[in-house]
Structures are given as C-alpha cells and as structure tokens.
Structure 1
Amino acid sequence: MSRTAGSRPRRSVNTLISVGVASTFAIISLPAAYATPSASAVISEVYGGGGNSGATLTRDFVELGNAGSAAYDLSGYSVQYLPGSPSSSSTWQVTTLSGSVAPGGRFLVAEAAGSGGTTALPTADATGTIAMSATSGTLALVSGTTALTCKTAADCAADSRIVDLVGYGTAVVREGSGPVTGASNTASVARGTSLADTDDNAADLTAGAPSPVNSAGQTPGSGDGDGGGGGDDPTQPGTVRIHDIQGTTRLSPLAGQTVTRVPGIVTGVRTSGSKGYWIQDPAADSDPRTSEGVFVYTGSVTPTVAVGDSVLVSGKVSEYYPSSTSQSVTELTGPTATVLSSGNALPAAVTLDATSVPSAYIPTAGGGSIESLALEPGVYAQDFYEANEGMRVAFSDARVVGAANSYGEMWVTVKPDENPTVRGGTLYSSYDQPNTGRIEVMSLDTAASPAADVGDELSGTTAGPLDYSTYGGYNVQATQLGTRVDHGLKQEVTRRQKGDELAVATYNVENLDALDDQTKFDRLAQGVAVNLSSPDIVALEEIQDDNGATDDGTVTSEATLTRFTDAIRAAGGPRYRWRYIAPTNDQDGGEPGGNIRQVFLFNPKRVSFTDRAGGDATTGTSVVKSRKGVHLTYSPGRIDPTSDAWSSSRKPLVGEFVFHGESVFVIANHFTSKGGDQPLHGRYQPPARSSETQRQAQAAEVNTFVKSLLAADKNAKAVVLGDLNDYEFSRTVGTLTDGKVLTPLITTLPAAERYTYVYDGNSQTLDHILTSPAVTRYDYDVVHLNAEFADQASDHDPQIVRIDVTGCRH
C-alpha cells in the first residue's frame, strides 16, 4: 500500500472477510450427552442477529440452561460455532467458559456486537467475539476448548466431546430430523421453559423474540451489558483485546464487527499520507501467532494521540488491501479513542535478526490464497512478520541493501550473511531464494531519513511498528532511526577498449526525452563517456519521442538524440551518430504518448554502420546469404514487428556493423515489463508471473532470428543485448538461448557480481548481453553506477562487452 509518510493516496476500499479462529487449550475429558437426550446442561437459546439491521439487541448471544438438580461445572468447556454451510476452509470458532450453571438456571455467553441495536444484553457470564449468522449456523456446547473438526451431522454425532448441539436455519450440522427454522435479525431460536432435549432441533426449539437471561436472572436492560468488562464506563476496557482482533491467520476473525474500548499503548503516529496510529497491548497472550498490535486508521483526520498514551479505542475491524494481489492489513476504522494517561513506557520491541526471522520465506497454497492458513511464525519469515503486524519491532547495525528513495524509504537486511553481493547488497539468485532478511524501513519523519546507498549501515537501533505495503511487503515504520554510516560506495568506471577491441554496451536511460532537464542529459552522458569509457556501439533503451508523454502523434526522437549526443560530446565522449526505427504511434507500450524505442549510438571513427533501406515500424528484416556473405535485408530493421509477441511492446532493433572488416550483427531489445505479476509477498502463493508468457514469446522470436543468422553463417558474430526484464535463471532467458545459440554473459561473472538492478532490496539481473558461439574472445563488465545509489540518473546499471577480434583474452 501507499501508506507512508509521503503523500501517495490510499487506493482501494476495504475488503471484509471473516474466518474462524481455533483455541489451543487442552481438552478436558468430561461426560458427553450428545446422542442421548440431556437431563442437565443444554443450549437453551441462540441469537445471531445482534446489532444487525432491525435488531434491538446489540450483541449476538448463546444461552445455556441446566435442567438437572445439581450445578453443572463449565470449567474447561466451550461454546463453538460453525457456519450453516461449511466449506473446506471453514473452522469452528471457540469461546471458552468458566463458572457453572445453577440447577434450573441460565448462563449467558455474549458474542460479537454489531453497529445496530439499542439495548444491551444483561451482564454476560462469559464473553466471546464470534460473529454468528442471524439466519443459519450451528452452535455446540463442548467438553473441551480445542476446536471441533467435524463438518457433517454424522461426524459430529460421533464426537463424544459434544454435550449439546443446535443447528438453525439451513444448517448442515444439526440434531435429529432437521435444523430449527425461523432465526432472523429479530428472532432467536429457544427451547421451552422445561429445557426438553430429544436431540431433534426442529422439534425441541422454536423461533421467537430474543429473551436472554444471565445467571443472576437479569434480562436485557439490566446489568452492565458488557460481559463484566466495565459496562458503560468509558474508562474501563471492553472485552476484546488486540490479539482477539488479529487472530491466528492473516484475516481477523472479527472483520466487519465493531469493537469497544480496546486497550493499548500508542507506539507510533502517522500524521501525513494515510493517517493513523498504532496501538499495542503490553499484556500479551501466550499464542505466538496472535499479534498484540494494530493500526488505527483515521483517514484524513490527523490523530490527536501521542506516542506513550494509554488509550481505549472503539471502531470497526477492517481488512485493508493495498492492491488486488497483496496481503491485507488488519486495522480499526472510524475510531473513537479515550486517552487514559500519557508518557507510558512502550512495550518491548520484537527483535529482528538472523535468529528470530525464519529462513523459509512464505507458505504456498498451489497458487491460491494463503489467508486462511494458520500462521507458522517459527517456520516462515512472512508468517513471522504477519504474527507481529502492528507491533513494535527493532533491529541493530543493519546493512542497507536497497538505496533510499524520495519518500524516505530504504531496504536493509537483518541477516548480514544472507547472499551478499560484492558491493554490499543482497543477491536474488533464484525464485526459491527471495532473501528473508530483507525489510523495508519507512521513517515516520521523512526529513530525518538519510540518503543511504547500498552497502551503508544503519548503525545503532532502528525501531517502530511493523506495517505492510503493496510496494514491498512488511516494513518498519521507524519512530527511532539508526545513524547512517557511509561505507563509501563509488560509481564504477570500466576500462577503455583497446584498438582492436569492439566495445558494445547497453543502457536503459529511463524515459529520456527532449523535454527533460539538462541535468538528466548530463548525468546519463557522463555514464556513457566516462563510466563506460565511450563504447563503440551503445544500445539505448527507453528513448522517448521528442515531446515525451504528450500524445499528439509525434514519433521522432531527433531532438532527444541531438541533446543526448551533444551532452556526451561535452562530457568528453565521441561525436556519436544514431540509428533507430520510429514506432507506430502508441503501439510500443511504455509511458502513454512516449513512444519509447531502442536506439543505436555508434562512433563512426571506430565502427561503421551498414545502411540497408526499407525497414520501418511494420516491416521486418531478415537474413540473406550471398556469395559475399551474410547480410540483413534492412538495416536498421525490426524482428517480425507484426507478431503478437510484440503487442503493446517494444520491437527489437537489428543493425549490421563493420569493425576491422568484420561484420557484427547487434540486436537491441526491451522486452515487456513485469507489470501484472503477483508480488513475492502477496497473498497468492506461489505468485503467478503472468507477464513471463509474453517475454517467452518474444525470446522465441529473437532466438528464431539468431538461428536463421547462424544457419546462413555458423561463424556469424552476433550480440544480443538490452533490458530483457527477466532474470538469468528465468524461462525467458532459457528460451532465448535454446539450442545454445547464445551465451548469457552475466553467468560468466562470479555469482556475487550478477546483478544490474535493485528492487525491494534484492540485487538482480534484468539487463543482459548475450553473444553467438563465434564470439569466443571477450571481456565483459557490469558497470555499477545507478541502481545501488540514492542519487541515480537511471534505475538500471549499464553493461559492456569488449570483443577482441584478433585474439584477446577471454
């Protein structure tokens, strides 16, 4: 999501989902009465319409009765609820009990409250948070507190722990001939005053006006109506705690419900962007799966609370989805708060380090949602973070692995030994190694965020609430930020090519157009002239048309390239010439109206370009074999530009060059982006990489073209390069190299040097240079000058290959 200290807007509405939460208390073996009529404890009344439209009562309830002559001890018992038509993912929800039911008496269990209704229950004898359906469901009185697992009437009849069971509406699980009918927002289902139990719900219970009675004989409007949790006293906590709200899965079991006077200490306040604050209960439960922290969303209203305030918060439990494929953030919306005291000590922070964060990344669900899976914080890093969502976390002396951006955000690793690169980053080397030590840091005070580069260190302690965002997953909303230690990362400068070496480079210049300010031109030019040492050929990606994003039909890039080559010359580089094929307007993807394309720059004093007229946006070039050798029909030209593989995407640019009498064929690429892929940290696991389908088709087109070139001349020297938008271990690259027609040069480097881009703290390869088998003597280098730096001219690093046509070292 975009809820940072910046100004990016909240972009989607809340999605409300309710799932079950199972308790983990031990089973206590007690006599069961299910399957034979009960002469003692029974479920006497059930009502799920509390707080709904038209309801008078504000809460759902379950009433127990005792038809026996002795008190019925409920210690270690529970009432449990199952939806009327349970699915494979449905679970029984549990409310634990204590105390006893007097002979002939009643015992009232208050459940979830709604936003409607006017009359409180009498003081409840036990309180839970189950949101029961008004019209259909199953309630069970159970001799134990472990969640039931049965989901059919027969299976539940065989479970000796069930003391009594009531199915109402159209419930699948019920006793006897069928469920009792008639339950609604204004009607409960109840036994008669004799509490008769023949194990036939349809016969034993009838629908009528709700009439809850507690153990003291009180009825609605008497007692405090709040389960003994302080009644209407605004200075006393209600019955719900934060761990009840968070539950044991990624979704709150109370989603959609209104909770009252939830206690906590304010641990962080966000006063810009998506405003709100975090509260944390210092009295944690014993379940490591249930977070003790939650975000209180105030929308456009600036919070008036302060860190250290002890508060009681009322509001609606919601699940906020930053995007359609992200996980959600459990939060309280429409809040009201009472400040009880200020200046309180904050709850101790959970330590993030190599010991606490698991090595496995995230559970899988066959491509489906993992939201209903019980959290395993001791097994999966993402479960560990989810189980601490909203809570204070802290780390110390962490290495920066993703440079700071303009929003004051950066990435660090809390695992210093996890896949380090040679320059201080963390290497992304395969789909099953997403690097669990990465965590994003978003300072709540953007002005205080240092302009850190990869390899720098946040020295000392960084601490704050743990949040979740679509832009990278879990993050620390830092209220305390470590001090930047500058480790002196420098831009690399590659060596200059020798006289008999042909230097070919690729550089994504990030939507360069003639309307950009001169500073951008100058910095990119410095990269070409100085850092790349003025290559003989430069394949540029993301050169826009001359008026950038203005969508008026302009497709030429002459003004853009004039400014760029002038800037290169001013930086000490050669006077480059250029070649490109102008795209058909709005057909090559990228920024709307920008008409990005690949361009060849070449130094005419070192290399010549062989012009063969006829190539245009829709006419493809091909390979021709003659007695004089192999050549292109059109140069510059495009590879099969009308193929569906290039729909709304850049078409490869092919050029024929001559260096020291040798023909060299260069193919510049910019494959379709990863837009639309599900994120590593999202709720669908494993994530779908839908964009890869088109890149594989594009790779197949280029592979076919290279094969046609090698079929005409097996010794043809070809250089395939550009921004492929995919990794060296991807199927895209596998398709491109099929038949061993190309060698991906990134794989010739030591593993810790194989990256050209940094995303979400992962150093990875998106840009490539590949060569045909005849190119046996080369010197290859990725020149790191952008991706690792807070101040960058482009988000990509360029790379270069120097081909020695006379026998230079490999």
Structure 2
Amino acid sequence: MRVHDIQGTTRISPFAGQKVTDVPGIVTATRTYGSSKGFWMQDPTPDDNPATSEGVFVFTSSTPKVAVGDSVTVTGTVSEYVPGGTSSGNQSLTEITKPVIATVSTGNAVPAPVVIDERSVPDHYTPAGDTAAAGSVNGLPLEPETYALDYYESLEGMNVQVSDGRVVTATDPYSELWVTVKPREHRTHRGGTLYGSYDSQNTGRLQIQSLGSTADFPKADVGDTLTGTTTGPLDFNQFGGYTLVAGKLGTLESGGLERETTREQSSRELAVATYNVENLDPSDATFDKHASAIVNNLQSPDIVSLEEIQDNNGAKDDGTVDANETVTKLIDAIVAAGGPKYDWRSINPVNDQDGGEPGGNIRQVFLFNPQRVSFTDRAGGGSTTAVGVTKVHGKAELTASPGRVDPANAAWTNSRKPLAGEFVFRGRTVFVIANHLNSKGGDQALTAQYQPPVRGSEVQRHAQATAVNAFVKDILAVQKNADVIALGDMNDFEFSGTTQILEGDGALWSAIKSLPRRERYTYDYQGNQQVLDQILISPAIRRGCDFEYDSVHINSEFHDQISDHDPQVLRFRP
C-alpha cells in the first residue's frame, strides 16, 4: 500500500475506515501544537497519475516522535476527518489515525516541493456537485488540470511551495494571512483581490500559516509581499480550506499601503457615513482610534450610523441594555481628537433579543453634528413599537423619530432591528434608516464539498431586506421625491439577492455601484475583497442630486485594524 493508493482519485479515500499496513514515506513536517498533533509524510516514488496525492497527514494525537527526514512505515486506520464537523459542509482531510510507526532510516532528503504558481493553478474554481449526492463533489473524479479546487486536492498533504506571493488578506490575530499566486487575477487598486460575483472565487488565493512560533509570524498588510519561497505541506482546515503550513516562510517586503482619508464635505453638502465599530463597549481600548478615524479619515461626517455599539458593560449578561456610557465615551474621544460635539439618538433593544455577542446587546446608533444638521424628535418610538409613515402638509413624516422598523416581524428574530430617524439639513428633511442585517455565519465555505455552497443565512436576510424595502416604499408612496437613505452593515454583496430585494423596483439603489469595480469593497475575507457595508439611496438623491460616494479603506486591509469593516461616506446636496 502506497500513499497515492490511499489518497485515490477522488476526495474520499477508497480505503476510508479500513486498516492499512506498512505504508512507506519520508517525514516532511511535524505539528507539535494544538489539538491536531502529528506529521506529514510523502512517498518519494510517486505514480504517474496527477490526480493522486503523494502526501498524507498521520494523526498521532500527542507530540510525534519522528523528525523531518525520517523514512518511516505506518500502520493504521484511514480516516476522513471533516474540520468543523459534518454539519459544516466542509470537505474532509484524509488521514492515517491510530498509527504504529516504524523508523527505517533518518536524515533522508525531503521530496522537492511542488511549485504552485500562476501557470499551475487552473482558472476554473470547481466543478458543480453531483446532483445525485445532494450537490457534493466528494465522489467526482479529480480533474486537477481543469479545476483549482481539484488541483489543490491532488496536492493534499504534499510538500508545496509558493514564491513572491502578494498578500491579499492581512495577518489576523491567529497568525494567518492570504497570498495570491496569480498577481493579475481581479487585482484591486490597492493590491487585494476582488470578489465581484458568485463566479469570481479567485483561484490563486492560498492561506499561509506557520509550523513555527507565532511570535515570528510576519505582520503583513494587503499589498505586501512574501518574497523568496514559502514552503511546507498543503493542509485543509476549517477556517480557510487549503492552507500552506509553512516550515519555511518568505521574507516580508512592505508594499507601503496607507490608510485612506476622504475629502471634507462642503458647506452645502450633507455627509452621511456608516461605520461598524465591532462590538464597542466601555472597556475597549480603541475609542481614541475610532475617534481619530471619524475626525481625520472620515472628516467628521454630519451623520454617522454606528453598528455594533454594545451596552454599558459589554458582554456581561446581567440585563443591562443602556449604552449611554459607550456612546458618551466615543463622543468625548471625538471632541478630544478635534472633532465636533456630536449628539446622538438610538433605541435600546430588548435584552438578549438582537443577536451578536451574548450579553452585549448590540444596536445601531445615530451620531449627528447639531451645528450642521438637526434631528426631528417625535415621541412614540420604542423597542417593540413599529414606526409608521404619515402625510402632513403633503410631505412624509415618521410617526416616531427615532423609531424601529417592523420590530415584531419574524425576519428580525435574534437580529438587529432597523433604526429610522428624521433629519433636517438646510431646511430639507432626510430620512435615514440604519441597518445591521443577519450575518453570514453558518453559510458553507467556498471550499465546501457542496458546490455551489449553500448560503443558508440569506433566507433571513432576504426577509429583512423585504421589510426595509417595504418601509422605504411607504415613505415614497407619500412623498415621491423624499430623500431616503438606508445604510449600514448589510452583510451581503452589492450583486447579491439581498441587495436586489433592498433596491426593489427602484425604491433604492446601492451607491457603492457608482465606484469603479475594482474599488468596490468594504471587507476582506479569505483573500477576497468584498462589499458588506452599503449606503442605498432613493431616486431623488440618485437622480436629482450631485452625490459622491467613498469607501474609506482604513481597516480591512491592515493587520492592526480597529474594526474588520471599512466605513462608507456619502456626500450630496439635498
């Protein structure tokens, strides 16, 4: 029995669940940390079938007693381990478990790494799954010359190498980063890789981790380069799929990326922004940095919709729902940074009913500069009271300001309810609806065994988008030329079904689509720069006003980000 026999020509080993005896190989790397201790071994005498991998992971459960360069034989049970569990929909990793290991010799040369580069990785991402197997690709014969995921699978467990990889997702707190081996594939203007459609998965992306100390892992930003060669076994894990676990890391070369600054609005322009401040509570150390971002990078917008403002004691789940201390601390920090003394409006959620971190009670909050814009306070809004629309002197008015949109709708179960408010700028009323739609948590990964992957979270998001669109239509039915803005963390792409529902038949339009395609992103996930945060505008703003949109990249591309989202700014003349 050889390793390539165990790996076979599909994703599932033909010997899964069976015992194999005296499988030979050279140890290429050992993993001595975490819950998945073991080693990789590779057959130095490969077969002539490019679909069969020559490497495999041997799971020892405790610190392995072999060393790189040992020639070993392994007897054990072939297992298909699914990172994240079978319910995740992830592909499996072929392993040999419960091993009995015999060392034949030491000090042997490790098989030369397979070079992964622009020429070797196919442009097509993955085949469609087998409809007879619920859309799974597990039983399909691998076609490594046709599909990128098949190519990576054919190298599972083998020693591989990338050279001069450009960083397309910055180093995260878990000492991971992403590079691309295809420098020209959907490159953005700042060095990332754009995810511009469901058919644009970007085949050159590869996650990089290290077998060494995390203290030595490079602190990389998007556009940096891992120069030289990065070499190690190709693993598959829950958070990112195919991953080069480096025994040798390239040298980090800075690309010099700097945080962006938008321009200041003119006296006649209203500047409206959305900013997800990522679970901000009074115990955080990021208030000064958030304040500096709002004052200096966003140029003190007139209205700021904040998402993920937590209550006064953060994740402590004791019934506290007020967030006045959180908001006041941010406002004071903004003043200290040289910004305006913002006023604010919000509505407390019902305790533990709006999702997010347990006990945190995240909500949306309006900040506004009272020297530039006024808020129309109208009593009646509450956590469970639905805001409506009335007609007064031929104009639309909210029945409560601030108010929550349709909070009893099942679409908002365990999710943030939209916050609506009326503002007045230079005598013109502007309706603003702050949103934080259902997250993508639980969706299957792009590398899932089911292709195309199931996006289960969008069912609730579509229902939420329907409710927001209906509310906007209520306003426009009363006042066709009303200035309406629906903004926030929509947790979905500008090309998604969610956005199409929000836009409806023209009630709204996502203004990020006014940017060139390669500038449309607010978030960076697993090597894909993508849109999650949006500002949607009514026809009166889109067609009757000279508007300008800016996605201000201050977070998503940087290893020292203070939020994982980039803020967005819309400037227009009501």
* Percent identity of equivalent pairs: 61
2:391 aligns to what SS in structure 1? strand
2:351 corresponds to:
585
The answer to whether residue 105 in structure 2 is matched with residue 326 in structure 1 is no
1:418-497 equivalence runs, <5 A:
418-445=185-212, 446-497=214-265
Q: 1:512 maps to what in 2? A: 280
Matched, 1:254 2:2: no
Q: Given that residues 394 and 479 in structure 2 are in contact (C-alpha distance below 8 angstroms), is that contact kept between their aligned partners in structure 1?
A: no
Partner residue, 1:243: 4
Question: What's the CA shift string for 1:497-544, capped at 9, x where partnerless?
Answer: 11111110000000111222xx31111111111110111100000011
- What residue number does 2:55 align with? 293
- Which residue number corresponds to residue 531 of structure 2? 765
2:105: which partner in 1? 341
Whole-Å Cα distance in 1 between the matches of residues 573 and 228 of structure 2?
50
Q: TM-score, normalized by length of structure 2?
A: 0.97
1:378 maps to what in 2? Answer: 145
Question: Displacement, 1:353?
Answer: 1.1
Greater alpha carbon shift after TM alignment, 622-631 vs 490-499: 622-631
| 1:778-798 Cα shifts (integer Å, max 9, x gaps) | 111000000000110000000
Distance of 1:748 and 1:313 partners within structure 2: 59
Give the Cα separation in 2 of the matches to 1:363 and 1:442. 27
1:777 is matched with which residue? 546
Q: Any idea what SS the aligned residue of 1:739 has?
A: coil
What is the root-mean-square deviation of aligned Cα atoms in Å?
Answer: 1.0
Which residue does the alignment assign to 1:656?
422
Is the Cα–Cα contact under 8 Å of residues 288 and 337 in structure 2 kept in the other structure?
yes
Cα shift at 1:447:
2.5
Structure 1 position 527 matched with structure 2 position 293: yes
Q: CA deviation at 1:567?
A: 1.2
Secondary structure of the 2:512 match is helix
Cα distance per residue 1:630-672 (max 9 Å; x no partner): 2110000011110111111101000100111110111100000
Partner amino acid, structure 2, of 1:279: M
Q: Show structure 1 runs of 4+ deviating over 3 A.
A: none
SS in 2 for 1:740: coil
Q: Does 1:502 align with 2:263?
A: no
Give the distance between the partners of 1:671 and 1:716, measured in 2 at CA. Answer: 24
SS in 1 for 2:500: helix
Q: Any gaps of 5 or more consecutive residues in structure 1?
A: 1-239, 806-810
- Once residues 709 and 268 of structure 1 are traced to their aligned partners in structure 2, the CA distance between those partners, rounded to angstroms, is 63
SS in 2 for 1:681: coil
CA distance in 1, matches of 2:60, 2:174: 21
Tell me if 1:364 matches 2:92: no
Aligned to 2:179: 412
Structure 2: how far apart are the matches of 1:628 and 1:499? 28
CA shift for structure 1 position 315: 1.6
Greater helix fraction, Structure 1 or Structure 2: 2
For the residue of structure 1 that corresponds to 2:383, the secondary structure is coil
Q: Which has the higher contact order (CA 8 A, sep 6+)?
A: 2
| Residues 615-694 of structure 1 aligned to structure 2 (within 5 Å) | 615-627=381-393, 629-694=395-460
Q: Secondary structure at the match of 1:244?
A: helix
Amino acid at match of 1:471: F
Question: How do 1:94-243 residues align onto structure 2 when only pairs under 5 Å count?
Answer: 240-243=1-4
Alpha-carbon distance in 1 for matches of 2:525, 2:221? 13
Secondary structure of 2:322 counterpart? coil
Task: Decide whether the 8 Å contact of 2:162 with 2:231 is kept in 1.
Answer: yes
CA distance in 1, matches of 2:16, 2:223: 42
CA deviations on 1:316-363 (whole Å, 9 max, x unpaired) are 111111122100000111222222222211112111111111111111
CA distance in 2, matches of 1:316, 1:578: 62
Matches of 2:319 and 2:432, distance apart in 1 = 29
Amino acid at match of 1:289: A
Aligned to 1:795: 564
Report the counterpart of residue 41 of structure 1 in structure 2: none
Instruction: Give a deviation string over 1:754-788, Cα, whole Å, max 9, x none.
Output: 00000011000000011111112111100000000
**Count of residue pairs brought into register by the alignment:** 563
Q: 1:272 aligns with which of 33, 38, 41?
A: 33
Alignment gaps of 5+ in structure 2: none
1:351 pairs with 90, 115, 121, which one?
Answer: 115
Cα distance in 2, alignment partners of residues 592 and 408 from structure 1: 26
Residue identity in the other structure for 1:278 = W
Aligned amino acid, residue 65 of structure 2? T
Q: In the alignment, which residue of structure 2 is the partner of 1:539?
A: 305
Q: Is the 8 A contact 2:122 2:148 kept in 1?
A: yes
The amino acid of 1:452's aligned partner reads: A
CA distance in 1, matches of 2:178, 2:279: 25
